[in-house]
Amino acid sequence: MEGYLDISQTRVRYGDNEILKGIDLSVRKGEFVALLGSSGCGKTTLLRTVAGFNTPTHGTISIGGRDVTRQPPDKRGMALVFQSYALWPHMSVDQNIGYGLKLRRVEAATARQRIDEMKALLGLQALGSRKPAELSGGQRQRVALGRALAINPDILLLDEPLSNLDARIRLTVRHEISALQRRLGITAVHVTHDREEAMVMADRIVIMNGGEIAQAGSPQEVYNKPNSDFVAAFMGAENVVEININVFGSSIGISEGPNNRKAVINRGDRTLSSGKAIARFRSEAVQMAAAGAPPASIQDGLVLTGTVAQVSYPGGLWRHVVHLGEVSLIVDSATRFDEGSAVEITVPETALYIFPHP
């Protein structure tokens, strides 16, 4: 893939700790890439290394074929929007947006025009003379974005820029940023630990784990075709059961177990060997019925038998905690099943992720 931002074999150490372990990533011009992962996975370290705040111990970073690995942050043509917004409290909105232009000694009339363009773009026209303390969280976020975009960066870096906003505003700003990025055709790299945020905003998601890339792909790919147990769990398939499988030709036979019926499913492109395996699935991707309902065909997917231990209503669907022996599953259903009732859960083949037993 022809990249615009190329990160090659990049390693970063803090003392004896290797935080990034040979990252290879190529970002196309105009692409919006989200770095997704839990705390400590290396996503912010990678962003700061791209920005020039960390120097790699090995590997290179280049933009449009130009090696910037040893260049200072201000020579890289990038702008970074911080989690804390980092606005100057004593400056007005206009002064904050124009701060990077002032540092670059852009002449006053051009700077004025650029500041006005940014305010119009971000709906801040009426707020030019206000100080950050007089603004809401969403407005401060827009000012930080305006300051970053005013210098016309080649690459926009976003470090969890929405995590300080309340949930309702976050949804709006999320769509505003991605619409703006598409309209301007700007290349963006966004760090987040919020799966839904990455899914909604990014063209491509890079899931990180322990300083390495676990999987990279479109939102649909990483959601529907996780390549490992870790990615499946991270992308919401948190229910897990142990099974025994027999792989033959284009099929996978699932042996009958203490809490599951015998089943046969398509092998598809799964690379598996016969023996112990683990099956993962999402809480909303299954059908639940009272035990003793007419049995499903063995071709319909994995059928599990259990007992409802707890019921709650988070909205839209009923949420059930179902016990299968020692294992607890969470199952969402439009129908409410009483606590203590015996149930059968059918996981369709398309919703079932099977991986080798660790």
HSE-CB at 11 with a 13 A cutoff on CA atoms is: 10
Q: Which of 273, 207, 209, 286 is nearest to 241 (CA)?
A: 286
Q: If you average pLDDT over residues 319-324, what whole number do you get?
A: 97
Which of residues 170, 199, 230 is at a domain's end? 230
What is d(CA 173, CA 158) in angstroms, rounded to the nearest whole number?
13
Q: Are residues 185 and 168 in the same domain?
A: yes
Q: Say if residue 275 is exposed, middle or buried (CB neighbours under 10 Å; 0-12, 13-18, 19+).
A: exposed
Which of helix, strand or coil describes residue 177? helix
Which of helix, strand or coil describes residue 277? strand
Domain CATH for 190: 3.40.50.300
Given a cut of 90, is residue 339 above it in pLDDT? yes
Q: How confident is the model at residue 2 (pLDDT cuts 50, 70, 90)?
A: low
Q: Are residues 272 and 125 in the same domain?
A: no
Q: Are residues 23 and 139 in the same domain?
A: yes
Q: Are residues 291 and 218 in the same domain?
A: no
Q: Which pLDDT score is estimated for 52?
A: 95
Given a cut of 80, is residue 299 above it in pLDDT? no
The predicted-structure confidence for 245-291, as pLDDT tens digits, reads as follows 999 989 999 999 999 999 999 988 888 999 999 999 999 999 999 99
Q: Are residues 212 and 279 in the same domain?
A: no
Query: Do the Cβ atoms of 213 and 222 come closer than 8 Å?
Result: no
% of the chain surpassing 70 pLDDT:
98
Q: Compute the C-alpha angle 33/35/39, nearest 5°.
A: 165
* Domain range for 165: 5-230
Residues 6+ apart with CB under 8 A from 90: 131
Which of residues 173, 208, 230 is at a domain's end? 230
% of the chain surpassing 90 pLDDT:
76
Q: Are residues 86 and 219 in the same domain?
A: yes
What is d(CA 46, CA 50) in angstroms, rounded to the nearest whole number?
6
Q: If you average pLDDT over residues 80-105, what whole number do you get?
A: 91
Q: Which of 63, 64, 75, 69 is nearest to 10 (CA)?
A: 69
Q: Which pLDDT score is estimated for 331?
A: 97
More confident site: 279 or 298: 279
DSSP class per residue in 153-201: -SEEEEESTTTTS-HHHHHHHHHHHHHHHHHHT-EEEEEES-HHHHHHH
Which of residues 230, 253, 276 is at a domain's end? 230
Given a cut of 90, is residue 237 above it in pLDDT? yes
Residue with tokens 């910037």: 68
Domain CATH for 301: 2.40.50.140
Q: Are residues 136 and 173 in the same domain?
A: yes
Q: Are residues 269 and 122 in the same domain?
A: no
Q: Are residues 293 and 220 in the same domain?
A: no
Q: If you average pLDDT over residues 220-246, what whole number do you get?
A: 96
Average pLDDT, the chain: 92
Query: Do the Cβ atoms of 180 and 121 come closer than 8 Å?
Result: yes
Q: Are residues 166 and 279 in the same domain?
A: no
The predicted-structure confidence for 112-133, as pLDDT tens digits, reads as follows 999 999 898 888 999 999 999 9
What single letter denotes the amino acid at residue 226? P
Which of helix, strand or coil describes residue 302? strand
Domain count for the chain, please give it.
2
| Residues making up the chain, counted from first to last | 358
Q: Are residues 37 and 22 in the same domain?
A: yes
Q: If you average pLDDT over residues 184-188, what whole number do you get?
A: 93
Q: Are residues 247 and 225 in the same domain?
A: no
- Number of Cβ within a 10 Å radius of residue 248: 11
Given a cut of 90, is residue 163 above it in pLDDT? no
